[in-house]
A and B are shown apart, each in its own frame.
Chain A
């Protein structure tokens, strides 16, 4: 049972026990990666926070503008920082919970290095503008395939470890790991269904409303099954270990696990309130989010109540401080989430920094603190020595807490302020702040506070780096033996197959002799009765395969009910006849828009509210988006909505605006894009793109595809000449990217004007 140094394990092994070695080497690697990518992801976060208050910071170069770095930030903190933390937790705890070494060292190695390679690929391709645009699924298809492969490697390694387990029943932490692994696989595959048009270029096979539904079914459940359930698993192992207290309630574990897994998957559409998504789907997203409140809090209760009688330890053990605060932030965020998913609240919070506050209280508070708590607890275990400095760990905790509070208070204030300004009408019935710019400059002071808060959190993380480094150095100085730890574990007598594997050293007692059929049947009944005496769930815990199957069924129910009708019901997307596909030039312009990450700050979704119709024009209709592969509704309005921007300004205004945004919009925090005026328009893949879209049902004719380049050149010449007439300084740009982008901007939202009622 107890772990010992391999050196003193040479002694005699007691009867009924055997000697195994855990793989802690891989866990150490994952811990390194967690801290390293944590620093990278948070540093990028600080850079983009700076870019928002001081746009000059975008002049780092064309690959480092806000639109390209923001996805890098989110991917780095979610999949690199939190991802590696999850793997560290799974690797360390699973082996001990099932009393078996990870199934394959080779798979562990492939898992670790494969994942790091994927992160590096992300860090290269995202600044290059190679993106699928869908949030947290931006990575282009070759990387998406690599993620699927590595995830399968991880899953095989994990489930085979369960198969070879010596502990019959699965502990609650493992339930959460199982749910995470299978659900992420399902979500990832479906949301990355694209049609490639080049090595790092593709179009989603879904369009408009459907694409949005799939994306936020994925997006919300990435939050659920990457940032919630694995961390609950982490909590269920590391918290009771650190506090040395029994889990508060096994019954609660069962109830909140199943309710959480079943309900969470339905919540996605709450990201699409008041959009073109059918209201019934949004309503389901809302009510399931509200029902999710208590299942989420079940985890908080089981965490905090487990500390009853151990609160004094919180004072002396820094890891417990992190856990307590982390669980508290979790409780806050999982109350706030359901609240924000209520339509009337969401009408204010959506597209604003309120969402940014919400995700950061969860990411910095819950995911960050649970991770650091785990790391501070693990360091002495993994390096067989004491933590170098408890005081520094405590300093980390307090500084990071101050950082989070500054960050979220600033963002709540910014979000609510801006949301209220967008919808305010004056006494005359006109918009109080018709100029979008006013609603930006009003919240810039809050953006500064956010920058300070985020920076404090980053600085505090460096304290962890120092502690990690010094603890390892200490272990080296003390010449600690870091070979795989040995554990003496009981030989599982419950496993029928085990007798063969262990050279018959253990006889299982129920397969001894042949019995008549009736006798055997009775025995089975008695055996079943015996098994059920601890309840049906106890039985399930001994059947990983059945448990996993039930989990998959639980997550598929909500998915099917919400997604399938959307594809089968024609009323989801009433046809608008005047809506036509983009011209070849506009299509190229749209791809430039995507490459530059315009969608990161600009939505294309006017909601059916008076204030929005007044500000932007008629609200967006589902039929307008039928050719939108992928959809570009966006989730944040750092700048104004662009769904109806076509025709509002002349070409010259747009050109001037892209060249120097503050010159047309004084106070603008948008980056300048001078390279759009220099880069030659590349039309070599236009035909291929159109033919891919044709495959997906966009009604391009074969002729249009054949003459794609000519058509694009023709339109470019026309737009360029109009531009040159409006502003001579912009003459002669017909072969440049800016022309395609302007053509796209001028098309946005205009098709519906031609509609004959």
Chain B
């Protein structure tokens, strides 16, 4: 840089009023556009060209590729979790396991709280039924054994409007709520 280059702010923007530009008293300076403004503008244009090219070349994931990647990520997560669970003594929910819960106060308490938030709206606060079946009688439309009840909670009965809950509750919660409804 030569020494006569303007360095201070005032000379970068000399603030020279343009002759003949006056509108209702408003004047205009002949200042240059700020360099950083111009360069960022050019940079966004360059980036846009690059982005479109990269998307076209497959360097950047399009919707489909992003979705596949997302599915893979979740599948890996699920596999890792299943593997980790296999190492431990994973609970196998069966008729016997559910029957044991009927006397388990902790499980019944869990079941009750799950019931209040997820089931009571359709099956009644006391299990008297409503939109869904009643639990305070001895009728079980989809099978009276505990595993049948468990299957209803887990998989739902779509024809009757009962949603599947396996994506919304853990196995323990579903088991607990089955135990709870048998106390009603």
Contacts and interface: CB of A to CB of B under 8 A. Distances in A.
Interface of A: 1, 93, 96-97, 99, 167, 169, 171, 237, 240-241, 246-253, 255, 259, 274, 279, 283, 286-288, 290-291, 293-295, 297-298, 301, 305, 425, 427-431, 434-435, 534, 608-611, 614, 619, 647-653, 656, 663-666, 726-727
A288 B75 CA distance: 36
Contact of B29 (A246, A295, A648): A246
Interface in B160-184: 160-163, 167-168
B59 interface: no
Given A288-B48, A429-B77, A651-B161, A249 B26 contact: no
A173 to B, nearest CB: 8
Given A248-B31, A301-B34, A290 B41 contact: no
A250 B17 CA distance: 10
B63 A274 contact: yes
A648 B163 contact: yes
Contacts of A294: 37-38, 40-41, 44
Contact of A428 (B32, B33, B78, B163): B78
Contacts of A647: 158
Tell me which of A246, A250, A425, A651 has the highest count of chain B C-beta atoms within 10 A of its own C-beta: A246
Contacts of B4: none
Contacts of B158: 647-648
A96 B45 CA distance: 38
B140 interface: no
B26 A664 contact: no
Contacts of B34: 252, 301
Contact of A246 (B26, B55, B73): B26
A290 B167 contact: no
Contacts of A279: 62-63
A564 B104 CA distance: 67
Nearest to A96: B24
B26 A663 contact: no
Contacts of A251: 30-33
Contacts of A665: 121
Nearest to B27: A246
A287 B52 contact: yes
A255 B31 CA distance: 13
Contacts of A295: 41
Interface residues of B, number: 55
Interface string B48-85: 10011001000000111011001101110110010000
Interface in B1-54: 13, 15, 17-18, 20-21, 23-34, 37-38, 40-41, 44-45, 47-48, 51-52
Contacts of B71: 610
A283 B51 contact: yes
A97 B23 contact: yes
A246 B17 contact: yes
A614 B24 CA distance: 62
Contacts of A259: 41
A96 B24 CA distance: 6
B143 interface: no
Given A609-B70, A610-B67, A291 B27 contact: no
Contacts of B151: none
